[in-house]
Structure 1
């Protein structure tokens, strides 16, 4: 009676290439790309003035951007509200159906309403449109029909070009929602640039996760005050070695009488000056003058890049402001913070 041979991974057949499936995927992307191209062409001609007007209206608002929509347009609206809020334009999403049951109380005359509806005839938006007219709340519409109820009610109508949906039945919103998303992102980025929204500002709204770590500054993670290994000019090397050992950064900064950083002692300096007289040698005879330093307001990721690009990469650096050391940063601090 024979023994069954165990199966190995090599016995698992590789999936066969399905060219027709790939063609369908590429067809979808090609159709959607044509939609974006049509949107760009429209902005260069007839839609450009409306885009500028919408940006001006939002920029001039004293309140927030209230984004609303239903169905797939509503999902796009949620994303757009989040993008605006995270890039310096206060915004929130208002569910069109819930608005009719009390949530219209979120909207004030200081706000700007941004309503998204491909047809412009979404029934659930009726109460919001009426509210905007009654209380003179500025209304920006993203729609495909200027003559729709929404388009005619809006102070500014961003009329998107009618294009082919990627759905072969022409029913599922695909190309249309992609254009809604794209015009929304374009508004958010234009407002970001108009407001001078910087990477530092961005970090205020993104303190968590990998993105927040990438935006950390040297001052956020550096060691300060008593943690810094520092000695004054004239200090004998016997005391310098105690300072290096006690602070455990493998180096020691040297300051003058006014507290300005004038040098640094590293393990390389110790090896180069190793002799029987080392312990009684004044630190200025051993230190490396004019050490490499960073600005405490520099991004930690940028500081890491500078450290790695030195002729001989370094693992520790002093942060200096007005010539005086205000902190010390080790490469391990950067790694622990998740900057890379």
Structure 2
């Protein structure tokens, strides 16, 4: 029969053991770590991460983290590498090889070509003992610590420490490169951050034939047709050079009807348009447009250029549809 208290105790014991492994790892951060960062920063090719078994799973995550934080990287399976995938390696690359024991047979088979191509080798293992760290340009170590598995067999604490060491490398390199949130967004264009940082008003605004425009002398009958046809809830009012004079929205129409109990359909829009409407630049970020729309409690922006000419319209619906809101 299961014992809930036992589950909790084992969980807490596991976390304490893994936390201790990280404490041990912290004592291993020395000049070797600095040298490894310098080698990777000087890399003219890609950072290639390799490892077998659980080390391979950690290596895949490490490569993904490097790649998304400014260090071009990919994972190479050592078993597949000896059957053709070794062609992935070229001069100018750097290899990180992971093996807690420091003696993975599959990785050792790759050593001759790594040396032949004069590719810098960084190893990650528990200690500096073993053929892998002995043949490395930099041998990073995790230090000796107990696995959280009560049998002492399943990689647990060692993989946690390896993952943390990979994160430490990636973040150190990120800092050294001056990697910014904009840089991060460029490698995550489909994510929420990417949309917030990469999408600009010019990417979302309605232009050309979708853009509602009328002249100031246009009678309200035609104004209503323009609003209805373009389906943006407004029309811009411009002069002969497309300079913005005002706007008229469907909300303005409702207010006009309530106020006048009907109106003359031949009334020129210039007499009822809203002058000096809110505008935004096409080069503004979409997220900035969203914040301003919310602050001003409006639903649309007219997009103008430096000459105050109308070049687009952006609505709250466009921002929601693009996933910015």
Band of TM-score, shorter chain: 0.7 to 0.9
Aligned to 1:88: 70
Aligned to 1:117: 99
Q: CA separation of 1:83/1:262 partners in 2, compared to 1, >3 Å: closer, same or farther?
A: farther
1:224-265 C-alpha deviation (Å, 9 max, x unpaired): 222122334555544433322221111123345554445432
- What is the DSSP-based 3-state SS (H/G/I as helix, E as strand, rest coil) of the residue aligned with 2:76? strand
Distance across 2 between alignment mates of 1:29 and 1:254 = 66
Aligned to 1:158: 140
TM-score (norm 2): 0.83
- Which ranges of structure 2 fall in alignment gaps of 5 or more residues? none
TM-score (norm 1): 0.79
Matched, 1:32 2:18: yes
1:88-107 C-alpha deviation (Å, 9 max, x unpaired): 32222111122223322221
Aligned to 1:317: 301
Aligned to 2:322: 337
| Aligned with 1:307 (options 279, 293, 297) | 293
**Structure 1 residue 79: Cα displacement:** 1.6
- Which ranges of structure 1 fall in alignment gaps of 5 or more residues? 1-15
C-alpha contact (below 8 Å) 2:32/2:139 kept by paired residues: yes
**Structure 1 residue 278: Cα displacement:** 7.2
Q: How many positions carry a matched residue from both structures?
A: 319
1:1-340 → structure 2 map (5 Å cutoff)? 18-39=4-25, 41-42=26-27, 47-208=29-190, 217=199, 218-233=201-216, 235-256=218-239, 258-261=241-244, 263-274=246-257, 275=260, 276=263, 279-283=266-270, 286-293=273-280, 295-299=282-286, 301-310=287-296, 312=297, 314-322=298-306, 323-339=308-324
C-alpha contact (below 8 Å) 1:210/1:338 kept by paired residues: yes
**Structure 1 residue 50: Cα displacement:** 2.9
**Structure 1 residue 72: Cα displacement:** 0.7
1:119-157 C-alpha deviation (Å, 9 max, x unpaired): 212222112233222321011222221243222322222
- What is the DSSP-based 3-state SS (H/G/I as helix, E as strand, rest coil) of the residue aligned with 1:189? helix
Distance across 1 between alignment mates of 2:183 and 2:295 = 27
C-alpha contact (below 8 Å) 1:294/1:317 kept by paired residues: no
**Structure 1 residue 37: Cα displacement:** 4.0
Distance across 2 between alignment mates of 1:198 and 1:228 = 36
**Structure 1 residue 208: Cα displacement:** 4.4
Distance across 1 between alignment mates of 2:241 and 2:140 = 62
Distance across 1 between alignment mates of 2:97 and 2:116 = 16
- What is the DSSP-based 3-state SS (H/G/I as helix, E as strand, rest coil) of the residue aligned with 1:113? strand
Distance across 2 between alignment mates of 1:110 and 1:31 = 39
C-alpha contact (below 8 Å) 1:66/1:93 kept by paired residues: yes
